[in-house]
Amino acid sequence: MKTDESQIRVQLALPQEQVSYDEKLKGAWQLIRADKPIGILLLLWPALWALWIAGQGKPDWYVTLVFILGSVLVRSAGCAANDFADRRIDQRVMRTCLRPIASGIIQPREALIIFGILIASALMLVLTLNLQTFVLSSVAVVLALIYPYTKRYTHFPQVVLGFAFGWIVPMAFSALGVEFQPVTWVLFVITMLWVLIYDTEYAMVDRDEDKLIGVKSIAIFFGDYDVLAIAVMQVIMIGLLLLVGEMSGRSWLYAVGVVLSSVYFVRQQILMSLDKKSGAYAAFLNNNCFGMTIFLLLLADYIVTG
């Protein structure tokens, strides 16, 4: 949807005193992307994959609940931190200039308060588990905080985000008291690859504006080979998911399901070939279906095989 530039300038010029309480609440809701929960889901699916494999199909339900709530809190906190870090950049990009901090609805200090409340709540949840999981979660938080600033210095901020999101895999094994295994690290690599796939798709949407304002991304690095690079990563990811099935003793049901689920990646390739902006964003959103499908395959396979 196109936004009228004069309307944007008027909103950016509004003094803080004219922002009502209702607008503040709506702004806080948008700041943590509660109106767009796709990011929470993309973090949650790998956590559930890891919990089901580490728990051999029967993960502790309290630990599972902690990871679900933690995914909501951490992702929401990450959005607040990201918008704080990018508040000046967001004002220069059409798609993001009306975000709560960039538009002045939420003040930077208010965003930091929201971030602090959310991240403290998440850490308190993790404290109910074991010390090793708490230490691992602290590493993930640090990586997530570094991520927004890396785009100023490197074309690979998505790699940092991949590490941050991928760290939820060893956290899941640790929370269930299961020693790290080769399958743990294969799942970690899979999650990293998946983040590179969907965040490259996301970065393709803003690539032209990012170039103008000097922001770096992996989409800029890949250039005309972006769709091909994503295809290579998708093929590798499908292969590694099949390897996880072999390593964790999954049946033919899981293997066939993984192969069939590659249709999502085929659809993403078609969408991006049609339009590298709107198509790339549609491809990004399509990853939620892929993540959910892999989880449902694991769930069904563990139920069938007992």
Choose the most confident range, by mean pLDDT, from 11-25, 47-61, 139-153: 47-61
- Check pLDDT > 80 for residue 218: yes
For residue 88, what pLDDT is reported?
Answer: 81
For residue 16, what pLDDT is reported?
Answer: 52
| Integer angstrom CA distances of residue 74 from 45, 67, 190 | 14, 10, 20
pLDDT category of residue 283 using cuts at 50, 70 and 90 = very high
pLDDT category of residue 172 using cuts at 50, 70 and 90 = very high
pTM above 0.85, yes or no: yes
- Check pLDDT > 70 for residue 97: yes
* Distance between first and last Cα of the chain: 49
* Radius of gyration, CA atoms only, the chain: 20
Residues 295, 49: contact at Cβ < 8 Å? yes
- Check pLDDT > 70 for residue 8: no
pLDDT, averaged across the chain: 88
Listed in sequence order, the DSSP H helices in the chain are 5-13, 21-31, 38-54, 61-85, 87-90, 100-103, 108-127, 131-150, 157-166, 168-175, 182-205, 207-213, 218-222, 226-247, 252-274, 278-305
Q: Which domains does the chain have, with CATH numbers?
A: 5-305 (1.10.357.140)
**Of 180 and 144, more confident:** 180
| Integer angstrom CA distances of residue 188 from 46, 94, 250 | 9, 34, 18
pLDDT category of residue 92 using cuts at 50, 70 and 90 = confident
pLDDT category of residue 44 using cuts at 50, 70 and 90 = very high
For residue 7, what pLDDT is reported?
Answer: 40
Residues 133, 174: contact at Cβ < 8 Å? yes
- Check pLDDT > 90 for residue 173: yes
